[in-house]
Structure 1
């Protein structure tokens, strides 16, 4: 079914993305407690994040294909029960190996639900509000880093690492109840063969869009992962200063996702991508200049980092809108692959940033981010001119076949 307006059905979708993001990265905040409690190293504890991300990236497209004919609310209910069970096992895990297994369960559950959330947000609202709805979902992911992970870190540090996973259990229960009570019935996709359903995934526009999302994820995660050494080189920032930068970036990112979603509806995805990319490039030029000078005022650094986070946040919603507008009846599969490439990009960004930091120093990271941002715009703009499909929200050209049902 399709809704006529934004409504309470959006709340469980946003909360689900917030919960899954929190469950993924909360481990990073309690590495020391996990290592001490499970008698392992912090490096080994860190692999709990890596395994979650890898399993998620692999499971998302597989789950989308396997569960095609499963009713969406049924899929959400059983997946969330699995997510809750995985975090209960994590909170009571007697060993590192059991905790690792619980992370696999949680990742599979999140991978099954996330594409459905994006597909519903991109098809339930009327065409003029889809970007706004997708921006809200992107804001949920940002809020996980801004609120969820710090909250879990505080609970884990105060009451023991198990408390962080009990928090995820509570969040999972809230998501389950809210989805069962607030989410409308979502019609399954029309009967189609596997080859027909996967056909859009092999088309040039979809591949370009997925490549653009991977580059965006790689660049943004690279900058946020290594913001500490970059900031130290640019302004001699201490630990408290780094914390302030993360808070400022998180706030800017949450605001930007909402603006990016609304702008997608009003200006079109391509124009919004261009605005976000220009903003990000300006921030990267400013950041690289600060690194070269090495004595930037702290307030200037905060401003530049906020502009950077704003540009990143502006880019995410229009890319999702752009992909959904070209997915036809395969929105679930396309969104599953989208989630996978985001996690793949996150991993690649961390690796590329580490190599650059060791080789060229901190100044090389914002330069690479500029190159990646330019490639994002070129990928989307090239696909837009290819004649395959038109941006339905661009205000010009014919509308592409948007999926008529959330599935």
Structure 2
């Protein structure tokens, strides 16, 4: 890999901020749920289906997309996923009705299903083996910051200016983050794809599946609490 050691921290910062933008975009619906409901003339449970549909797409899409994008250069993949996020979130902000907003939202959250797991997968190729745990934790810090700052910010903007402005801000941040990732990520980062045997070993591991189950229940509880 032809990149200097001094460039690596900047690449990790770009990935961490990318995760913050991704997380804030996921949290923008729970933060603006009341305003979406009132603005589009739908009930709170119906507006909440935006959260459900996005969660299903991200949960099922992450492993599926991992196989589809296995051979992609991660600089291009991560940049394209943020550009997609920005453009589709901007389209959501302009959606005239709930019927048009729902499919646009589902298409937009393809990006979280791609960006977050693939950012974590490529971290191991950006740092030394002894730094991998710390680097992955740092990159995922973006989601933690999004839950602490991103959703309250979205709620404040939604309550003050309207949900469309909150979506618009996420779109702008996504485009800026895409430019940063493109600038800082080196070329040639292609983590090895999981083989069929590796997938079978993963899905057949009881301790790992138990950890995934706990994470899934935690996420269910978190989004239910944040939303309602």
TM-score interval for Structure 1 and Structure 2 normalised by the shorter chain = 0.7 to 0.9
- Which sits farther off after the overlay, 146-155 or 196-205? 196-205
The residue number in structure 1 matching 2:146 is 144
Tell me which of 154, 157, 162 is aligned to 2:156: 154
| Cα distance in 2, alignment partners of residues 226 and 94 from structure 1 | 26
| Cα distance in 1, alignment partners of residues 32 and 196 from structure 2 | 40
| Cα distance in 2, alignment partners of residues 26 and 86 from structure 1 | 14
The residue number in structure 2 matching 1:106 is 108
The residue number in structure 2 matching 1:88 is 90
| Cα distance in 2, alignment partners of residues 220 and 108 from structure 1 | 21
CA contact (8 A) 1:3 1:125 kept: no
CA contact (8 A) 1:118 1:134 kept: yes
User: Which runs of 5 or more residues in structure 2 are unaligned?
Assistant: none
| Cα distance in 2, alignment partners of residues 206 and 142 from structure 1 | 29
Distance 1:163 1:112, change over 3 A: same
The residue number in structure 2 matching 1:197 is 195
CA contact (8 A) 2:86 2:171 kept: yes
The residue number in structure 1 matching 2:14 is 12
The residue number in structure 1 matching 2:125 is 123
Which string of whole-angstrom CA distances, capped at 9 and with x for unpartnered residues, describes residues 51-84 of structure 1?
A: 1111111221221211222222222232222111
| Cα distance in 2, alignment partners of residues 137 and 32 from structure 1 | 31
CA contact (8 A) 2:121 2:191 kept: no
Structure number with larger C-alpha Rg: 1
The residue number in structure 2 matching 1:264 is none
CA contact (8 A) 2:78 2:119 kept: no
Distance 1:99 1:79, change over 3 A: same
TM-score (norm 2): 0.88
Tell me which of 152, 170, 192 is aligned to 1:168: 170
Question: Is 1:215 aligned with 2:213?
Answer: yes
CA contact (8 A) 1:31 1:45 kept: yes
TM-score (norm 1): 0.51
Which string of whole-angstrom CA distances, capped at 9 and with x for unpartnered residues, describes residues 87-118 of structure 1?
A: 01111000101111111111112212222200
Structure ranking higher on relative contact order (CA contacts 8 Å, 6+ apart): 2
CA contact (8 A) 1:17 1:137 kept: yes
CA contact (8 A) 1:57 1:111 kept: yes
The residue number in structure 2 matching 1:58 is 60
Distance 1:216 1:9, change over 3 A: same
**What's the offset of the Cα at 1:130?**
0.8
Distance 1:133 1:206, change over 3 A: farther
The residue number in structure 2 matching 1:72 is 74
Aligned length: 225
**What's the offset of the Cα at 1:188?**
2.6
**What's the offset of the Cα at 1:210?**
3.7
| Cα distance in 2, alignment partners of residues 210 and 83 from structure 1 | 30
CA contact (8 A) 2:13 2:139 kept: no
| Alignment map for 1:216-295 (pairs within 5 Å) | 216-221=214-219, 224=222
Question: Is 1:23 aligned with 2:25?
Answer: yes
Distance 1:11 1:189, change over 3 A: closer
Which string of whole-angstrom CA distances, capped at 9 and with x for unpartnered residues, describes residues 375-406 of structure 1?
A: xxxxxxxxxxxxxxxxxxxxxxxxxxxxxxxx
| Alignment map for 1:254-403 (pairs within 5 Å) | none
SS at match of 2:133: helix
